[in-house]
Structure 1
Amino acid sequence: NMATLEKLYKQVENIKAIAEENRQKENEAAVRIQSWFRGCQVRAYVSLLHKNATSIQKIWHGLTARALFRQRVKTAYFITKMNFYNKMAVKIQQRWRGYYVRKYVHDYYARKRYLEGLTRKNKHIRRDLEEVAELQWKERERITLEKQEKEKNIQAQRLHFLLSTKQCLGVFNLPFRTEPDETELRLRKVRPLLVRSGPFRPALEVQQQRHRPLEPSLHIITSITALEEQYEGLMHTSTPFEQVAYGTKHFREEHKEYLKGKKPFKTVFTTCHVFDKFGRLYSSAGNIV
C-alpha cells in the first residue's frame, strides 16, 4: 500500500531529521562522557604512580637517612674518643712535666730568693715613686702659688691708682681698720702698670725686618761695565785696513757647522717683577707699602 509506504517514509525522514538535529548534542555528550572517563582513568593511574613513588622515596630516604645517621654516629664517637684521649694525654703530660720540672728544672729555694729580691726591689721602686710624686706635687703647688702671686701682682698693678696718699685714704685702707688690708700693702710694693703709647708692631716682626737678606734692585745688580762686557769687537772695525794676504781663509763664513746646536741670540727680555717686594717694605709711618 502506497499510503503505508509514504507514511513509513515520512516517519523515517522525521527520525533522520531528529537524529540530524541531535547529532551535535549527542556528539558533545559522548565527548564529555569519554573525557570524564579518561580523566578518571588518568587520575587513578597518576594516583597509583604517586603512591608508588611515595613508597619508593620513603624507602630510599630511610636508607639514606640511616646511612647518614650511622656516619654521624661514627664521627661523634670518634670525636668523643679523640677528646677523651687528648684529655688523658694532657693529664699525663701535666703529671710528667710537673715531675720533670720539680726534679730537674725548678729550684724552690732559688725561686724563693728571687721572689724576696723582687719584693725588696718593688719596695725601693715604690718608695722612689712616692718621693717623685711628692716632689711633683710640691712643684705643682709652687707653680700654682707663683701663678697666683703673679696674677695678684698684675691685678695690683692695674689697681695701683687706688693706692692711699697722704691727703686721701684708698678703698683698701679704711680708717676703721686697725691695720691696712693685704691689697693695700701689695699696692705699695708693686709699680703701676705702664700703658704703651702706641700700637707698636711685634718685636719679632721688627727684628725680622731689620735682619732680612739684601734684595738689591736690577739697577744695583747691573755692573757699571755691563755694556763694555757685552760688546764684541767686529773684525771689520778691529782689524787694520790693509790688503789681505793671499790664501787667507775666513772660517767664520766657511765653517757654519760650528754654529749648529747653539741657541740664537734673544732680543726680547722677560718682564721685570715690579711687585716682587710687596708686603716686605714699610713706609715712614710704619704701614706696609
Structure 2
Amino acid sequence: MAELLKIKSEVDEFKKEYFHRNSQAEENRQREYQAANRIQSWFRACKVRAYLSRLHKKAIIIQRIWRGFTARAGFRQMVKAAYFIMKMNFYEAMAVRIQQRWRGFFVRKHIHNYYARKSYLEGLSKKNELVRMELAELEELQKRERDCVEMVKEQTAKVYQAHRLHHLLSTKQCPGVFNSPFRPAPHEMEILLRQVKYQAPTRLDPRGRACLMGMLGPTAPSFPGTLGSPWIKTSGTCCSSKPILPPISSKKQQMNRKYAPPSESQQQFLYSASLRQEL
C-alpha cells in the first residue's frame, strides 16, 4: 500500500515535472524561434546589402567608363575642330601671302614701272635742286635789296640830320662841334655838313618828334640836289616835318622874355641830348 502511494506520488511529481519541462521547452522554443528569425533577417540583410553594394560599385564602374568614353569623344571632337581651325588659318595666311606676292608682281610689272619711277624721282630731285638754287638766289637778291634800302634810309637820315644841324658847321672864326682842333681829321658829320645846303627850319608836329634823334618817320621830306650820293632818292621819306631850331632873328626876342615856353625848353633838351649821342 505504501509503495502504491509512493508510486502514485511519483507519478504526480512526474506529471508536474513533465508539465514544467514542456512549458520551459515551449518557452525556449519561442525564444529560439525569435533568435532564428533575427539571425535569418540579419543574414539576409547582410546578403542584400552586399548585393546592393556590389551593384552600386558595378554601376559606378559603368558610369565611370561611360563618362570617360563621352569625355574622350568630346575631347577628340574639340581637337578636330581646333585642328581644322588652325589648318584653315594656315591656308588663309598662305593664300594671303600668295595674293600679296602676285599683286606686288603684277603692280610692279604692269602698273608701276620701276625704271620709270626711278627716272621720275631722279628728275624730281634735280628739279628740287634747281628750285632750291633759285630760291637761294632770290633770297640773296632780297637780302641785297633790303641792305640797299637800309643804306638808303641811313644815308637819308644822315642827310636830314645834316640839314637840321647845318648851323653847327665850322667857320674860319669859330670851329664847329664836329671839327674839334683835337681831332686829327674832321668828323664824318662835318664833311656831310659841308656838302648839304642850309634850309630854314620849320615847326615840328608831334608825329615827327621822333626824328630829333636821327630816326626816320613815315613821311619825311626829301632834299634833292643837296648831296651827290647814289643812295639818296629824290622821292625818299623821312619825318613829316622839319625839327624846330631856334631862329637867328628871334634870339633878341628870347633875351627880352623873362622865361621860355615849356615846349621850347623841351625841344632844346632833346636837341642837346642828340648832340651828346653824336659826339
Q: Which TM-score tier does this pair reach, normalised by the shorter chain? A: 0.3 to 0.5
Q: Which has the higher contact order (CA 8 A, sep 6+)?
A: 2
TM-score, normalised with respect to structure 2: 0.37
TM-score, normalised with respect to structure 1: 0.36
Name the structure where helix makes up a greater proportion of residues.
2
Structure ID, larger Rg: 2
